[in-house]
Structure 1
Amino acid sequence: MTKSISLALRLSAAFGAAAVLAGCSMGGLFGGGNAAQTQTLQNATATPAAVAQAQTNALPAIATQCPPIRVRPGSEAMFYYGGGRTGDAKALQYQGVIDESSRNCVVSNGLITVNMGVVGRVLLGPQGNQTSVNAPIRFAVERDGQAVFSEKYTIPVAIAAPARSAEFVKVIENVAIPYLGGEEITIWVGFDTRG
């Protein structure tokens, strides 16, 4: 048997085995069931009682996808101006920006447990002379458009002269989100300058 035929047979056997395994593991997730039952599930909405029941009875699951983390539109930056001159670049005392966000998840017993974090910077403007600035960061989690977690954190950021900027990091651990399967879950982060 030539080398090329032998290689082709091995590749074909490997792809065949992968297809069989994929079919076994995915079949129940992607259909193949009773059409009426599928329609009922598609139109179902989870009540708080159903979520509580799922938390206690759900079997451990493998985390195949962690919910995305996004910066909430409009909260990517914060600006502080002196003398009430909002929007005047020459009066800017400082601004904050979000550089990166990240998360990781574990799914087990009807819960997604999330660790989430953000890295950002505070930069002094032309009128800035602060040595410390508080960065108000909010983390929130939405499931099917409903908030299931929302918490604001005030992060002190020290700016040591002669530097005109400083980085901050905030990590939140072990946020538990009830999970039935199929919900649309989004993690949001951003500056929250409201009082």
Structure 2
Amino acid sequence: MVRTGLMMRAAGAGEAGRLRVALALVVAGAVLSSCGGGSMFGSSPDAGTDPNSSPSISSRFSQLFGGSKSQAVGEASPKGVDSELVCPPVSIRAGASTYAVGAPGKEAVGNDMRFQASITRTARDCRQTGDQITARVGILGRVIVGPSGAPPSIEIPLRVAVVQGGVQEKTIMTKVYRTTVTMNDQGSVPFSLVAEDLVFPVPPTNVIDSYIFYIGFDPQALTPEPKPKAARKKK
């Protein structure tokens, strides 16, 4: 009886041990799931190894847009937020997907490149109020330092436009935005921008499917506008 009791206790201890292991695995799985699935943009290709990936950026986008409207560059555009409202897809303008700057007086190629910025993911949502649509377009990207070395901070110029596509494109509205990126010693820094004040008229039903949000870098937006020449005084 004593031997049997010992065997029963040993079996009970073994079962309890297995239960503890199973419980630990469940808890670990839940923690990993919460870490990997909360960001609107998900994980970038190097987020697992990049010590500079910023959770605050992903969290901000998650709060603004939720988790269902993420669009990686090159992916098909998700459907609109409201089933009765078509929210135009986001596309990067040809020739405006990167922003590279070279050393003073040099082209941004090879060892003369100071830095290059690129867009990695986008998101958008739309809300209709009367005959107007208010939209937000989110842009997530990354700045990489070049061989020539980047300055401590970089101003990133981005343009967002609402365009009616077709044989002859029609720009409904366009606006320039800027965001400043503080660089670090690692040489790769993420950046984000949310254009929250895009307002345009509700498109006619027959052309609404041709509307699109075009985004891209616009270096010319950093060039100060020339000051108007002073009028000459009449003698």
Q: Please confirm whether the aligned pair reaches a TM-score higher than 0.5, indicating the same fold.
A: yes
**Structure 1 residue identity aligned to 2:200:** I
How big is the shift at 1:125? 0.3
Task: Write the mapping of 1:59-138 to structure 2, written as runs, cut at 5 A.
Answer: 63-138=84-159
Q: Which runs of 5+ in 2 are unaligned?
A: 1-81, 224-235
2:214 to 167, 184, 188: 188
Indicate the SS of the match to 2:96: coil
1:156 aligns with 2:177: no
Contact 2:108 2:114 in 1 (8 A): no
Task: Find the counterpart in structure 2 of residue 165 from structure 1.
Answer: 188
Q: CA deviation at 1:151?
A: 1.0
- The answer to whether the 8 A contact 1:62-1:107 is kept is no
Q: CA RMSD in A?
A: 1.9
Quick check: 1:104–1:114 contact (8 Å CA) kept in 2?
yes
Q: How far apart are the structure 2 equivalents of 1:116 and 1:65?
A: 14
Q: CA deviation at 1:87?
A: 4.8
- Give the 3-state SS of the residue equivalent to 1:186 in structure 2: strand
Moved more, 79-88 or 128-137: 79-88
Deviations 1:128-176 (A, max 9, x none): 142101111111111352212211112110012x221211111112422
Residues 55-96 of structure 1 deviation map (CA, whole Å, 9 limit, x = unaligned): xxxxxx953421111011100001111143315311111111
**Count of residues in correspondence between the two structures:** 134
Q: Which structure 1 segments of 5+ residues have no match?
A: 1-60
Shift in CA distance, 157/131, structure 1 to aligned 2, threshold 3 Å: same
The whole-number CA distance in structure 1 between the counterparts of 2:147 and 2:103 is 10
Q: Secondary structure at the match of 1:90?
A: helix
TM-score (ref. length: structure 2): 0.53
Instruction: Give identity over the alignment, percent.
Output: 25
If you compute each CA radius of gyration, which structure gives the higher value, 1 or 2?
Answer: 2
3-state SS in 2 of match to 1:94: strand
Q: Larger % of strand: which? A: 1
Q: Greater relative contact order: 1 or 2 (C-alpha under 8 angstroms, separation 6 or more)?
A: 1
